[in-house]
Structure 1
């Protein structure tokens, strides 16, 4: 499994637009580009950090050549519009060595 971590620098006042568009864009990347999903975090300084999982590095590298549906491309553009692109960056790319993450189900 391949992992990419991103630091998103969001324009002031556009945090809600970013978070909403990020969620939809991430769904499109999963549906069209082969990702395994992503998590969006916010650190103590308020920065948005995302952790995206891919089945392998090649799928990650090929993703930029794949266009999503018009609807998902519009979400992607909304996300990009909310960002300071020059400061947004990939902060780490890595292979998973040992995976001990678990998902517990809860009963309602």
Structure 2
């Protein structure tokens, strides 16, 4: 799973994933981590991409992700995926989606 952007949103998404027990994400940020670049090959290694609102729809990294067949979720879509419902059923479902069935993404 790729997280595009290491700012406030990227850190929040990473924190949510850690709380869910997901620790196989990679954070890409051209300014804060210049040595880690999201390339066409990197896109092929990820099935799910969560991106910051700073990434417009025409951002080259999002185009690469779409071309590689990645599911791309902005922060709000990702938050809906892991939203807590009574009994935490949705969190368990999101955890299953992200951990137990990563090929779904």
Provide the TM-score with structure 2 as the length reference.
Answer: 0.29
Provide the TM-score with structure 1 as the length reference.
Answer: 0.29
Greater per-residue helix proportion: 2
Greater per-residue strand proportion: 1
Higher normalized contact order (CA 8 Å, seq sep 6+, divided by chain length): 1
Find the structure with the greater CA-based Rg: 1
